Structure 1
Amino acid sequence: MSSDKIKRLYELRESDPREAIELARDLDPGLGPEEREAAAVVLVDCGDAVGDFSSVSKGVEIFDELVASAGSHPGLSYNLANALQVRARLVHGPLSPISGKAFEDRFRARVQFGAVLRDGTASSELKSQALTNIGILLLDTSRWVEGLDCFQRALKVLPWNGVAAYQEMRHSMGLAGLFYRKHETYQTYCHIDTLLQRIRQLADVVISNQEAIIDFSGREALRTVIDAAKDAAKIEPIPRKLIENSYFEFIDAEALALSICCSAEEYQAGRFDLLTVPSIRAKKSDGHGVPEVTCPLRVPRS
């Protein structure tokens, strides 16, 4: 595959995904690893755009072959993980968080994203993207509290990661809604005023880093993201009191509290580990495995 053909592939990825898929499928077995990786990226991205499961699977197959033949590097690990994540979203069949093909793909994706995080040669941008995608993988199986942790970590690695800020912002908004609708159940999850201020801060990050959103998620995602951020930015800012105790300051900085958002007053009163689990449900047909922790937080995808 010539450099001109690679350039053409990427141009078609933006303008005509279906034609890009046809071009990427026309693979020469003698292609070098860089050309094969480029074709696989296009198969996955365009397959995701048009809902073509077979193209995404072909991309996964190529990435697996590249890893088996030449070993991995941070970019390849990330691309394979992304492909597996996309296939899990499109897969036909069982979607259980504890069994089925989607579960296997999500698990493999997290392993590959983890390889990116452990690689000392990976850039901050790639590590932050990997953390963001791990958070989304956790959300896909209702593990949204862990997902929020990943988005926060992604922002620590790359403070202008607007995608991580948006994901944390919109799911925190969902939690705020639950707090008001079912206060008795969710009052231990967070201090609502502190949570609202966090949402307000995240909205500023999103609005100020639109180019990062385009780079990470594409221009088509920008409008929905910005509209949501503008709504969140209407929250009236309230200065947060400083946490004076160094131990509590450490707990807050490392996100070790069980409460998702704590105020300085709550830390001082020792109310930062009161999180409760509403319910754990399992059916007889589920078989052996860890039962899913059920939480009704459901925020529509953008």
Structure 2
Amino acid sequence: MELAEQAEKLNRLVDESPQEAIRQALELSGSINIDMLKAAILVDAGGLLKDFDSVFKGVEIFRLVVGKCKENSELSYNLANGLHALALSTRYEGYSWYGITEKYRLEARQLYYKAAIDSEATHDTRSQSFTNLGNLLWSSYRWVEAYDFYSQALEENPENGVASSGALKMLRYALNQGLGDPGLVKSEIEHLADHVKQNIETIYSYSGEYGVNGITGEITDIRPVQKTEQVAHIDSYEGFVVKNNLTLSPTIHSHAHGSQYWDNINIASVVSTTGSGGSVPEIFAMVNVLKSEYILARQLLFDACHERFKETGNYNDTLDYACYGVNQSALALAQRSALDILDKIAVASLSYLGIDGAKGASMKTAWFKKVKKGQKSRELAPVIEEEVEKGNTALLAMTEISRDLSNEQGFLAIKQSSRNSSTHRFTVLHDMGLPHENGETGCVEHYRFQEFARESLQTLKLARAGVVYFVQMVLIRERRLSGERDGVSLPLFVPSHEYIRGREE
């Protein structure tokens, strides 16, 4: 039988009888292409049945092939699918599932991201990689990041109904959490439902009949409404913010704004102790600083990418197509400023939770016990673990960001290394070419300007997600605490800074 015929037959069996598909796949042997088909069926059918052993066999085949062709993004994507399926095939028994599956999910996120940003990969591979990265992030409640990646998947393939269904799910979650403007969120959900129904064919090609049935079943209660493009009268900066979904707002999807204060995510109230003397808790000052520093980093990124800073220096040309000047330095500053926000989120979180050592906390280490010599995995500190086990999903999301930043295999590790470079060493950006070595001493690190700008944008999105998770973490905890307290409980509401200063619209 021809390979194409075998693939069609087995893929049909995956939907009709996954167990039989596994049995027949195990009998396959031959060329590398036969091995790839065998692995794909074992992963897909095994994933449907949550058959860990079958998925594991498929993963091992993919890993052998990827080892021979490390630069092939499609193979990396397939291996990531297998690792994700391994995690989902691991029995869920509360929070312990995250520790047991950490190594699978960590590697899968890195491989998905690698395939998603590979300029040599096809649009389909990049779109599917962004989509599945979003799915994987959602499994640990990183819904803001997931929404961003679903949006990027749609940029790669505007007909990707799996991505629009994922984005819809994230907005539904936000609505159920009481986050965002209900009217705006519901309207976008209806637009996304229409997009899903218009792209069933793509859903089938990406996810098969099982995927179609699952996705369409989730939106039967939504009235689909076609989206009409409205041209908003906004300046180039706000256009950049809306296009890239950078608004610091609980309504996380892109939309134009009627107010000059459109970065309006805030903590509404916290329960204050009677001994506080009526002073405003520090957490409000912390949120204000987090917001203002994010907004400044965003403005820096925009101005640097559009070369809006006036240049007053002249520089020696190093004859390697490097770019020097205040705009390049501003871009590096925007990137590290955005990453610095994550460390401040860690400080604010430990301070709010009443954990010692908050002042010196960092996003990479704040949540965990001290690692013992020879220990590879990191365990959550008792207070953090207790809060997560009580249902604080936003805190879980922040601990998972930390793992991706601090682990060499994490897909966010590159952001940490580039921040360290621009802070402690010398970052040089190039508009053409790129030296193979980082200079004579290793003190100068080279990046392509466009790639550095893209990663800086992603870092800004990450900082935005971190701020949203932090606010959500406080919201979840305050709701729980208010239900646990006996007697009279008086929440402390804080007035608008703009109102107090006489700048309210």
TM surpasses 0.5: yes
1:127-146 equivalence runs, <5 A: 127-146=126-145
CA distance in 2, matches of 1:243, 1:205: 26
Q: Give, in angstroms, the shift of residue 69 of structure 1.
A: 3.3
Partner AA of 2:261 in structure 1: G
CA deviations over 1:89-122 (Å, ceiling 9, x no partner): 1124777599634111111111111221232332
CA distance in 1, matches of 2:230, 2:242: 13
CA distance in 2, matches of 1:17, 1:57: 16
CA distance in 1, matches of 2:142, 2:97: 12
Partner AA of 1:86 in structure 2: A
* Residue of 204, 223, 226 corresponding to 2:216: 226
CA distance in 2, matches of 1:224, 1:166: 10
The answer for the alignment partner of 2:152 in structure 1 is 153
CA distance in 2, matches of 1:287, 1:110: 24
Q: Against the structure 1 CA distance between its residues 235 and 124, is the aligned structure 2 distance closer, same or farther, given a 3 Å change threshold?
A: closer
Q: Against the structure 1 CA distance between its residues 99 and 176, is the aligned structure 2 distance closer, same or farther, given a 3 Å change threshold?
A: closer
Q: Give, in angstroms, the shift of residue 74 of structure 1.
A: 2.3
Q: Against the structure 1 CA distance between its residues 239 and 69, is the aligned structure 2 distance closer, same or farther, given a 3 Å change threshold?
A: closer
* Residue of 247, 253, 265 corresponding to 1:274: 265
1:87-102 equivalence runs, <5 A: 87-92=86-91, 96=95, 100-102=99-101
Q: Give, in angstroms, the shift of residue 245 of structure 1.
A: 2.2
The answer for the alignment partner of 1:213 in structure 2 is 203
- Kindly indicate whether the alpha-carbon contact (under 8 Å) linking 1:148 and 1:168 is maintained by their aligned counterparts in 2: yes
- Kindly indicate whether the alpha-carbon contact (under 8 Å) linking 1:155 and 1:165 is maintained by their aligned counterparts in 2: yes
* Residue of 185, 196, 206 corresponding to 1:195: 185
The answer for the alignment partner of 2:248 in structure 1 is 258
Partner AA of 1:106 in structure 2: R
Structure ranking higher in helix proportion: 1
Q: Give, in angstroms, the shift of residue 19 of structure 1.
A: 2.0
- Kindly indicate whether the alpha-carbon contact (under 8 Å) linking 2:193 and 2:222 is maintained by their aligned counterparts in 1: yes
SS in 2 for 1:20: helix
Q: Which moved more, 1:113-122 or 1:160-169?
A: 113-122
Partner AA of 2:19 in structure 1: R
- Kindly indicate whether the alpha-carbon contact (under 8 Å) linking 1:155 and 1:161 is maintained by their aligned counterparts in 2: yes
Q: Against the structure 1 CA distance between its residues 242 and 105, is the aligned structure 2 distance closer, same or farther, given a 3 Å change threshold?
A: same
CA distance in 2, matches of 1:69, 1:236: 46
% identity of equivalent residues: 28
- Kindly indicate whether the alpha-carbon contact (under 8 Å) linking 1:63 and 1:80 is maintained by their aligned counterparts in 2: yes
Partner AA of 1:286 in structure 2: L
CA distance in 1, matches of 2:63, 2:41: 15
CA RMSD between the two structures? 3.4
The answer for the alignment partner of 1:183 in structure 2 is none
Q: Please state if 1:248 is matched with 2:238.
A: yes
- Kindly indicate whether the alpha-carbon contact (under 8 Å) linking 1:191 and 1:262 is maintained by their aligned counterparts in 2: no
With normalisation by structure 2, the TM-score equals 0.50
Looking at CA atoms only, which structure, 1 or 2, has the larger radius of gyration? Answer: 2
Q: Give, in angstroms, the shift of residue 269 of structure 1.
A: 1.6
CA distance in 2, matches of 1:94, 1:72: 36
Q: Against the structure 1 CA distance between its residues 33 and 287, is the aligned structure 2 distance closer, same or farther, given a 3 Å change threshold?
A: farther
1:64-143 equivalence runs, <5 A: 64-92=63-91, 96=95, 100-143=99-142
Q: Against the structure 1 CA distance between its residues 233 and 97, is the aligned structure 2 distance closer, same or farther, given a 3 Å change threshold?
A: farther
Q: Please state if 1:16 is matched with 2:17.
A: yes
**Matched positions, count:** 284
- Kindly indicate whether the alpha-carbon contact (under 8 Å) linking 1:128 and 1:154 is maintained by their aligned counterparts in 2: yes
CA distance in 2, matches of 1:17, 1:48: 9
Partner AA of 1:271 in structure 2: W
CA distance in 2, matches of 1:176, 1:227: 19
SS in 2 for 1:131: helix
CA distance in 2, matches of 1:78, 1:140: 18
- Kindly indicate whether the alpha-carbon contact (under 8 Å) linking 2:73 and 2:118 is maintained by their aligned counterparts in 1: yes
CA distance in 2, matches of 1:148, 1:97: 26
- Kindly indicate whether the alpha-carbon contact (under 8 Å) linking 2:115 and 2:126 is maintained by their aligned counterparts in 1: yes
- Structure 2 stretches lacking a partner, 5+ long: 271-348, 354-366, 370-378, 386-394, 399-472, 477-505
Q: Against the structure 1 CA distance between its residues 105 and 94, is the aligned structure 2 distance closer, same or farther, given a 3 Å change threshold?
A: farther
- Structure 1 stretches lacking a partner, 5+ long: 180-185, 297-302
CA deviations over 1:13-36 (Å, ceiling 9, x no partner): 3433212212222354xx321111
